[in-house]
Chains A and B, each alone.
Chain A
Amino acid sequence: MANPLRGEVFRLYKNLLYLGREYPKGAAYFRERLKSAFMKNKDVKDPEKIKALVAKGDFVIKELQALYYLRKYRAMKKRYYESEE
């Protein structure tokens, strides 16, 4: 059935939840949106569609990591380096 994919979906949810702790607008804000996003798709049965959604989720993970990195890099650059005029 969709059992192996069930594990994938849970893995994705846990990973996103963990990443959401650092979200600029707050972990609670992130968790709400994460939950509703997953709930919206809870009745999807087609394995192909599920795989596509999981891939989208993995993409979001990458985007979040990039967001966090850029935020930190910019903050450090602003604090420690003279702006090159």
Chain B
Amino acid sequence: MSGRVLVGVKRVIDYAVKIRVKPDNSGVVTDGVKHSMNPFCEIAVEEAVKLKEKKLIKEVVAVSCGPQQSQETIRTALAMGADRGIHVEVTGKDYDTLGPLQVSKILAALAKKEEAQLVILGKQAIDDDCNQTGQMTAALLDWPQGTFASEVSLENDKVKVVREIDGGLETIKISTPAVLTADLRLNTPRYATLPNIMKAKKKKIANVKPADLGVDLTSRLEVLRVDEPPQRQAGMKVETVDDLVVKLKDAGKV
């Protein structure tokens, strides 16, 4: 086994930003808006770096698909401890329609090319909330998957994964190579401090085109419309309990 881990990182609108829908309802305003690495992707990078620090794997490769700015996200991963990066250049219309299916095809191709032992991804992106890329990548590679991982341990050529599922935790053992997706409680990601960002500038980021990997980016999906969630109705205050009962009866709740 190569002892190489591929980590996918996605550049998304920062979690703390107030999202605004475009006036034509075609999407969300992204120009001039603060972007950063998807929080679940940070957790994925942290887990990969931890495995390397424990000397269980040899190399962490950070991958991101998107325009030039995706390189910033890769740099953050490098600052957190990844060894090198791969920027898969996707721009314009292709980037607008880029979704889990296309990304998983790209990741599967790269995992084979790089002879990765593990592919670690965040469980979902906070912008599209698809929660599909990890699963699709595993299916395309015909590799086992450990999704919603809250604990990962390598035992020889097997991986023990504790998964967060409805109603509790499930522990599974899968063989490598495998795909893992990180859940919130897997670890506490380290902060990419300025000195680390500076050191990371020496690390290489390779540039790759989807065509080089033989991946077709056509989307089977078309976004018809994007709307804001309904405004929360204002609450009402009442003076007495009797008033409350009257209001509830009027609303047909009682």
Say yes or no: B189 contacts A76, CB within 8 Å: no
- Check if A18 sits within 8 Å of B193, measured CB to CB: yes
Q: Which residues of B contact A14 (CB under 8 A)?
A: 194
Kindly state the interface size class of chain A when it binds its partner: 10 to 19
| B95 CB–A CB distance under 8 Å | no
Cα(A76)–Cα(B4), bound, Å: 29
Name the interface residues of B179-214: CB closer than 8 Å to any CB of A. Answer: 184, 188-189, 191, 193-195, 197
- In contact, A69 and B39 (Cβ under 8 angstroms): no
The contact size tier of chain B is 10 to 19
- Report chain B residues within 8 Å CB of A79: 126
Task: Judge whether B189 and A75 touch: CB under 8 Å.
Answer: no
Task: Give every chain A residue within 8 A of B188 (Cβ-Cβ).
Answer: 69
A-B pair count, CB < 8 Å, reads 35
A77 within 8 A of B: yes
Question: Given A77-B184, A80-B184, A81-B184, do A72 and B15 touch, yes or no (CB 8 Å)?
Answer: yes
Q: A75-B15, A75-B16 are in contact. Are A69 and B184 (CB under 8 A)?
A: no
When the two chains form their complex, are residues B184 and A73 in contact, meaning their CB atoms are under 8 A apart?
yes
**Interface contacts beyond A72-B39, A75-B15: sample of 17 additional A-B pairs, CB < 8 Å, sorted by A:** A14-B194, A15-B193, A15-B195, A18-B197, A19-B193, A65-B191, A68-B191, A69-B188, A72-B15, A75-B16, A76-B15, A76-B39, A76-B40, A77-B184, A79-B126, A80-B184, A81-B184
B: residues with CB less than 8 A from A are: 15-16, 39-40, 126, 184, 188-189, 191, 193-195, 197
Listed in ascending order, the chain A residues whose CB lies under 8 Å from chain B are: 11, 14-15, 18-19, 24, 61, 65, 68-69, 71-73, 75-77, 79-81
| A-B contact list, 9 entries, CB within 8 Å | A15-B193, A18-B197, A19-B191, A61-B193, A65-B191, A69-B189, A73-B184, A75-B15, A76-B40
